[in-house]
Amino acid sequence: MPGKTQRKYVGELMRFNQSLKTPLHTIKSILPYSYYRDEILNFFKELYPYEWNIIEQRYKQYKAKDDFLIKVGKKARYKPTPPQFYLFDLPKVKHILLEGQKRLHQENFNEEKRLEKLNVLREKTKLRMLKINKKIDSAKELVQEIEPLYLDIFIQAYHQKGVIIEEKMEIVKELQKYECKKSIEFFQKLNDCEKNSQIRILAFKHLQSIGKYVKLRKGFKGKKKNYMIEKTTFDMKPLDLLERIENDFIQNKKSFDYFISHSFLDNALVKKIVKEMNKLNLHIYCDWFNDTDFLKRKYASKYTRLILKRRIEQSKKVLFVKTHNTNNESNHFFSKWVKMEILYATKIEKEIECIDFINSKECNFKVFEHNLKFEDKT
């Protein structure tokens, strides 16, 4: 490993090891009278599941880097230790497992206090993980857990020669909308290698927000080229997107399994539908999921209508979410946008399916065939 790279890796490893000292010290206090290393491992997994997940992610990330180096004919550079053996190799764990420490533990052992502390720690872990998961779920609220077929086109476009900062930002924002192996690897590479500070920090914050292991790389020292400090506000309007769709650019390379036609008043319901359909490996178009950077409500116009029509054309089918917010008992559309989408889909003979939350017998379209069930939290 080159000297500079080695120093960075070893320094990062030492800081990461240091961060685990407090959790391991806490675990030491709730170990049973007689214990072995497996007890330490099991308590760590139970009481510090977030940290254990980071250890696993860290191992996979550096293992993937070594696999790539070997694949291109180079030597493995990082040689990470598998998670459980990594934990056993930590100086703190080795210290806890010393015979002298075991004897000291037994001399001061009190089973009643141990169980009391263990119960407190379990309750704290539960509350802590609820807080962490809530934060991650919030960050992933409009993220589809699916790998679109066109993702490779976007990634290749990012690395083409002559791509300007605004075009790179558009691609970054597009890939933020999906959580899959390719998008995660893309952001990890940006965090490691991208020289533009704005994009690199954006990649770091995205990975961090969705609960992925990531280490922010320091900025480059010395004289910086213009590209490295260049920034973009990426303030886009519907016309900007329409031009991109109608020209030979990445936006016209998109394709979707379903275009969701719905009332924005049903946004909570639509979020659930999208997540459930992702589980069926279906890629969904929803304007405020997919085109939120362009279709801002304050800029709604004729261009917005044209974009929605293009997105319908790019979708295999239309899914109409029929609720009391879209139709009355006479099947009259409340929303001009929903009416426009359904009429246009009918005009171009696009197949329309429907999830009818009013009465499926009244629906003029084919009832959606998948059985979607949601928890009633009311």
Catalytic residue numbers, as ranges:
341
H or E stretch including 218?
A: none
**C-alpha atoms less than 13 angstroms from C-alpha of 295 in its C-beta half-sphere:** 16
Q: Rounded to an integer, what distance in angstroms lies between the CA atom of residue 328 and that of residue 341?
A: 17
Cβ atoms within 10 Å, residue 145 = 13
Q: Rounded to an integer, what distance in angstroms lies between the CA atom of residue 260 and that of residue 63?
A: 40
The span from the first CA to the last CA of the chain, in angstroms, equals 57
Q: Are strands 366-367 and 256-261 parallel, antiparallel or unpaired?
A: unpaired
**Residue 102 identity (one-letter amino acid):** K
Which runs of consecutive H residues, i.e. helices, occur in 48-150? 49-71, 83-89, 91-96, 99-107, 111-139
3-class SS of residue 302: helix
The structure tokens 């900062």 sit at: 165
Give the dihedral sign, CA 22/27/30/32.
negative
The beta strands (E) that lie in 45-177 are given as: none
Q: CB-based contacts of 145: which residues, under 8 Å, 6+ apart?
A: 178, 179, 180, 275, 278, 279
Phi, psi (degrees; rounded to nearest 5) at 220: -70, 140
Phi, psi (degrees; rounded to nearest 5) at 369: -80, -20
Distances (CA, A) of 324 to 62, 329, 337, 356: 51, 8, 15, 10
The beta strands (E) that lie in the chain are given as: 256-261, 284-285, 315-322, 351-356, 366-367
